[in-house]
Amino acid sequence: MSRSTLHGLRIAITGGGRGIGLATARELHARGAAVVIGDLDGDLAAQAATAISADVLGLPLDVSDHASYAAFLQAATAEGPLDVLVNNAGVMPIGRFIEQSPETLRRALEVNVLGCLHGMSLALPPMLDRGAGHIINVASTAGKSPVPGGVAYCATKSAVVALTETARVEHSGSGVAFTCVMPHFTNTELIAGTRPTRLIPVVEPEDVARAIADAVASKPKDVYVPKLVGAILRTQPLFGRRLRDSLNSRLGAYDTFLTFDRDKRAAYDDRVKRS
């Protein structure tokens, strides 16, 4: 994919201060896009933007707060309309469902689901008025398959898959495209302390970033990272639950969110609790 492909596009990305969001912001900028980063940590967003380029804008953004999201998009479009919104911000609580607090469950819903809905409800109207635009929602392969220890996470990412597809159908013919990006285990702090699934490689944030940047240009409906996992998830429903569960257990997918190093994960969990 040519790095000049995205020249002139104005793209906003949430959760852009670290991880997949930061890698995506770098990749989009490298391909010529005008990039605006939003992150709950406003100072981190500003630092990340400066590290990429002086012309990248970094702003505070709480995606769970409609007013905060509206202010972010207003600033992001001060110099021109938004061409692409990448809803990337997310949190990943893991562990036994009955041990998770109501606050943890609520925060997962607020960030992962309500954050996408806020962004779409605010960005879509001007896109529909222009008859052009692109919404990219970052879900997860966990939105397509059960992962014990990830009840809340799977539920929220399944919601992102569903809301993206439903919005696509509802706005068919409008000129606005919708893409759902579903990464497998990605080497960020979200998987701290966990063990990867056997046979399926852990992907790097840069792998997901390239897939998102490619999607901006080609506008596919679904993107799996790596592509291999897409083939697996599309065929698993044909197996039936018994065979699916047996295969996933053998791959270690049913243990990774239940058996993990809590000490290695403590810093991430604490940051999510404070958010």
Q: If we measure between CA atoms, which residue out of 269, 246, 214, 259 comes closest to residue 101?
A: 269
69 is catalytic: no
Q: Name all contacts of 196-200 with Cβ < 8 Å and 24+ positions apart.
A: 196/252, 196/256, 197/251, 197/252, 197/253, 197/256, 198/250, 198/251, 198/252, 199/251, 200/226, 200/228, 200/229, 200/232, 200/251
Which tokens hold the place of 18?
Answer: 């670290």
Choose the catalytic residue: 153, 224, 254, 268: 153
**Is the peptide bond preceding residue 237 cis, with omega within 30 degrees of 0?**
no
Query: How far is the CA of 1 from the CAs of 22, 31, 135, 144, 182, in angstroms?
Result: 20, 9, 20, 28, 20
Ranges of H-type helices in the chain: 19-30, 42-52, 66-76, 102-108, 115-130, 151-170, 205-218, 227-239, 241-251, 262-274
Q: How far apart are CA 272 and CA 92, in angstroms?
A: 9
- Going by the DSSP 8-state scheme, the letter that residue 197 receives in this structure is P
CB-based contact 164:179 (threshold 8 Å): yes
Rounded CA separation 202/184 (Å): 7
**Positions marked catalytic:** 153
